[in-house]
Amino acid sequence: MGMSAAKKVVVFDYGFGNVRSAERALARVGADVEITRDFDAAMNADGLLVPGVGAFSACMEGLAQARGEWIVDRRLAGGRPVMGICVGMQILFGRGIEHGVETEGLGEWPGTVGPLKAPIVPHMGWNTVEAPADSQLFAGLDAGARFYFVHSYAVHDWDLETANPALRAPQVTWATHGERFVAAVENGALWATQFHPEKSGDAGAQLLTNWIETL
C-alpha cells in the first residue's frame, strides 16, 4: 500500500491524541510523517492529521494553546487537506455537550456532539459502517469492512447541504451502536472519522492510503 512519492503528513501534537499509533499507521502506508505542533510544519505539510482522545472541552483547550484552531481554519481556507480522528473529528463540529457542559467547537460543520444512547457505553470495539457508494475515503473496501471505535459521544444528525450543484456534496458515513451516528465525513479538503483507522488493521490502512492519495 505504498506510494510512488512520499507525501509529508504532520500528526498535530497538541497533547490529546494517540500520536505514536497514528505515526506508525501513516508510515506503514508510505507517508513521510512528523509528529509536531510546530506552526510552520503544520501549515506547510501536504496533509494535517488531528487526532483526539478524552474530553471535548480539554481537546479544544489544548488545540487553542497550540494555535490549532487557526492552523485548521487557514489550511482549509487554502484547500489544504485536514483529517480528524475520534475527538479530532468531534471538535470540527459546532459544539460539544458533556456532563451538561457545553463547549464551542471549531464550527467547520454545523452540529452537536452529545452522549451516545446505547445499552453499553462506551462503544468500544469493532463495527461496520454505512458508506456512500461513491465515497473516496472507503474506496476499495467492501461493506463488511470493520473499524475500531472507542467513544461515548457522537454526532447524531447531519445538517450541512450544498446548494451549488458544481460542488461535490459532503459524503457522510454512518454507523449504529444503540442508535445511528456519524462515523465519517468527506467534505472537500476536510475529512474525518469517529473510529480509529490507525487501530483498524488492513481496513484502516486502506482508508489512510485513500486519504494520502488525495494529498
- For strands 47-50 and 8-12, give the pairing: parallel
Residues involved in catalysis: 86, 196, 198
Average pLDDT value for the chain: 95
Nearest to 183 by CA among 131, 143, 145: 131
Question: C-alpha grid cell for residue 101?
Answer: 457542559
CATH annotation of 8-212: 3.40.50.880
Which tens digit of pLDDT belongs to each residue from 89-128?
999 999 999 999 999 999 999 999 999 999 999 999 999 9
* Residues 63 and 55: beta-carbon distance below 8 Å: no
What is the torsional sign of CA 86, 91, 94, 95? Answer: positive
Mean pLDDT value of segment 157-172:
77
C-beta atoms surrounding 81 within 10 Å: 21
In the prediction, which pLDDT does 163 show?
Answer: 55
Q: Identify the bridge partners of residue 34 per DSSP, sorted by sequence position.
A: 10
Q: pTM of the predicted model, to two decimals?
A: 0.94
DSSP one-letter string for 21-37? HHHHHHHHTT-EEEEE-
What is the separation of C-alpha 82 from the centre of its chain, rounded to a whole number of angstroms? 8
Mean pLDDT value of segment 13-22:
95
| Domain residue ranges of the chain, discontinuous segments joined by + | 8-212
Q: Identify the bridge partners of residue 36 per DSSP, sorted by sequence position.
A: 12
pLDDT exceeds cutoff 80 at 3: no
